[in-house]
Amino acid sequence: MTKPYEALVESPQSGMNRSQFSPEERAELRRLNVSGGEGSARKSTSGKFTSIYYLEGDLRAATARFVVENRQRLEKIDFSKSNVVHTSVSREAYDWILHWLGERQLKILDRVVHESRTEIEWIISQDKYFAAPNRRYNTEATGSVKIEASTPEAVFDQLPPRATLEDIPNSVTGDRQWLMVYFDEHPDFNCIIRTVGGSVTIWKYPECFSET
């Protein structure tokens, strides 16, 4: 076992080279690398990103180290648009980079995942989120809801005591039924989800009973 390999067993590292490893070790070696210095950025991101070497299966720790090594450059990037990080790494790596950078917050419930980003909220079916990461943000398909310039809490407050999918405001796009699932699962929303005549409705408790 080479010294560089021993170092990677301990934790992902920067400043390494494949030539330092034996052929057997290279089979396990991975590199987290962002190509290019510019993209959609708040300011110029000129300069190279520091690459991180890691062993297969240690991607999460590698992304954490990548953010530590490159935070200054990463903070100049506008992550609401396509950018050099997004086009350089896998979806899983990109998600973890956003997580460690504080650009993404996750709340995982039984059937849905709530992902918060700057000015955008996503409600995505848990099956789709983890099994089909490249299709998470496709609002043309089932299982994804996008909320722009608002929050689930604000949307809930806008709804009448007995609301249907048609009552959900235009700030919400995609498969709106999954927003109902989110309201049903999240403990902060006092509501009852009902299916009446084949249509999903949400009854806000206790206001819904004042209409009877």
- Residue 168 sits in the same domain as residue 201: yes
Q: Please tell me whether residues 48 and 84 are part of one structural domain.
A: yes
3-state secondary structure of 121: strand
Q: Assess whether 180 and 208 both reside in one domain.
A: yes
Share of the chain above pLDDT 70, in %: 93
Residue at a domain's end among 60, 76, 102: 102
Same domain, 39 and 113: no
Shared-domain flag, residues 134 and 52 = no
Which domain covers residue 165, as residue numbers? 104-212
71 and 112, same domain (yes or no): no
Q: Quote the strand ranges of the chain, DSSP E.
A: 29-32, 52-55, 105-108, 112-117, 120-125, 144-148, 162-164, 172-174, 191-196, 199-204
pLDDT value for 47:
59
204 and 177 in a single domain? The answer is: yes
Q: Mean pLDDT across the chain, nearest whole number? A: 90
- When pLDDT is cut at 50, 70 and 90, the band that residue 40 belongs to is very low
Residues 160 and 186 grouped into a single domain: yes
Question: Does the pLDDT of residue 45 top 60, yes or no?
Answer: no
User: pLDDT per residue over 125-161, tens digit each?
Assistant: 999 998 888 788 889 999 999 999 999 999 999 999 9
Nearest to 38 by CA among 8, 69, 82: 82
Read off the pLDDT band of 187 (50, 70, 90).
very high
Overall average pLDDT of the 192-204 stretch: 88
Q: Could you tell me the pLDDT band of residue 85, with boundaries at 50, 70 and 90?
A: very high
48 and 111 both lie in a single domain: no
- The pLDDT value recorded for residue 142 is 94
| Statement to judge: residues 143 and 55 lie in one domain | no
91 and 152 together in one domain: no
Out of 58, 80, 102, pick the residue that ends a domain: 102
Which of 68, 102, 136 is a domain's end point? 102
- Model confidence pTM above 0.85: no
24 pLDDT exceeds 70? yes
The C-alpha atoms of residue 97 and residue 68 are separated, in whole angstroms, by 10
Nearest Cα to 65, choosing from 32, 37, 41, 95? Answer: 32
Same domain assignment for residues 117 and 157 = yes
Per the structure, how many domains does the chain have?
Answer: 2
Give the pLDDT score at 211. 62
